[in-house]
Amino acid sequence: MSDWTWDYNPSAEYLTDGLPPGVIAEVERLATELAALGADSVRVGRPLDREGGLREFDILNGRGFISFLAVPRHECVYVCNITFYG
Helix (H) or strand (E) holding 32: helix 21-37
Q: Which domains are assigned to the chain?
A: 5-84 (3.30.2310)
Task: Point out the residues of the chain with pLDDT beneath 70.
Answer: 1
HSE of 85, CA atoms in CB hemisphere, 13 A: 8
pLDDT number for residue 1: 61
pLDDT number for residue 51: 86
- Provide the 8-state DSSP code for 74: T
Q: Are 57 and 44 in contact (CB under 8 A)?
A: yes
Burial of 14 (0-12, 13-18, 19+ CB in 10 A): exposed
